Amino acid sequence: MNEVQRHNGILSLLDDNHAIKVSTIIETFNVSPATARRDLSKLDELGKLRKVRNGAERIETRKKVWSPLGPDNTEHYGEKTKIAAAAAGLCDRGDSVVINCGSTAFMLGQELCGEDIKIITNYFPLASYLIEQDHECVIITGGQYNKSKNIFLNPTPELTGTYAGNWMFTSGKGLTEQGLYKTDMLTAVAEQQMLEQVGKLVVVVDSSKIGQRSGMLFCTSSKIDILITGKNADQSVIASLRDKGIEVILV
């Protein structure tokens, strides 16, 4: 996570809380106390917040940085932030990446925003954020907008096949030795149309999902190249996945 992305994250925290403490920044973004205080000083100089003792306060006139999630409405927010940062670290300049729906996926999009990376998505909240933040290259996979899921669904697989990416990042409700599970069939089918068009499949799930079997089997473990999850994940499942040749990154 670079400085600009971290600053946006700090301002997002202030959108949901009138004030935040230095300790919150340290824990949420995994930075040193010196870095946290330096961030607050810079943002204070830019007039984007008001620095106070041991923290900062929101300036009410500041334009809101839009986000559908935050520490108060997203489970495992801190862990997902670290997962998203690790996922972003896999991408190189000029890459094309497919990012599907979900809170971790949105955080990954925030991490990549502003970088020289083509982002392909059918997740409307993420596409809206990237466009609002003037990301250089955003491709929205076509289809009918499904309001309840906030995604575009494409009934024609041939059209989806015209999009390709170096990476595909996806999440789910459970991950076992058998594979990744999703509970929503509409989003699962939309994502399955892209599986054969990407270089590597990366699963990004928080540690609570490891070992859980919930919903339909989205893909078998043989399709997964990399798993990024938290250090508290079930280690027996992690060992089994590694035995199957999956690269596991613990954050």
d(CA 25, CA 221): 36
* Predicted local confidence at residue 84, as pLDDT: 95
* Predicted local confidence at residue 159, as pLDDT: 46
* Predicted local confidence at residue 15, as pLDDT: 81
Burial zone of 150 (CB within 10 Å; 0-12 exposed, 13-18 middle, 19+ buried): middle
Mean pLDDT across 74-92: 92
d(CA 65, CA 125): 13
* Percentage of residues in the chain having pLDDT higher than 90: 59
- The rounded radius of gyration (Å) of the Cα atoms in the chain is 18
Q: For residue 14, give the amino acid letter.
A: L
Q: For residue 59, give the amino acid letter.
A: I
What's the pLDDT tens digit per position in 93-105?
Answer: 999 999 988 889 9
How many Cβ atoms are within 10 Å of 7's Cβ, its own excluded? 18
What does the block give as tokens for 230?
A: 């938290």
d(CA 24, CA 102): 24
Residue listed under structure tokens 């003037």:
134
Which segment of 9-23, 24-38, 85-99, 223-237 scores lowest on mean pLDDT? 9-23
Angle between helices 22-29 and 77-88 in degrees, nearest 10: 50
Indicate whether 176 pLDDT > 80. Answer: yes
Burial zone of 156 (CB within 10 Å; 0-12 exposed, 13-18 middle, 19+ buried): exposed
Which segment of 18-32, 136-150, 208-222 scores lowest on mean pLDDT? 136-150
What's the pLDDT tens digit per position in 109-127?
Answer: 999 999 999 999 988 889 9
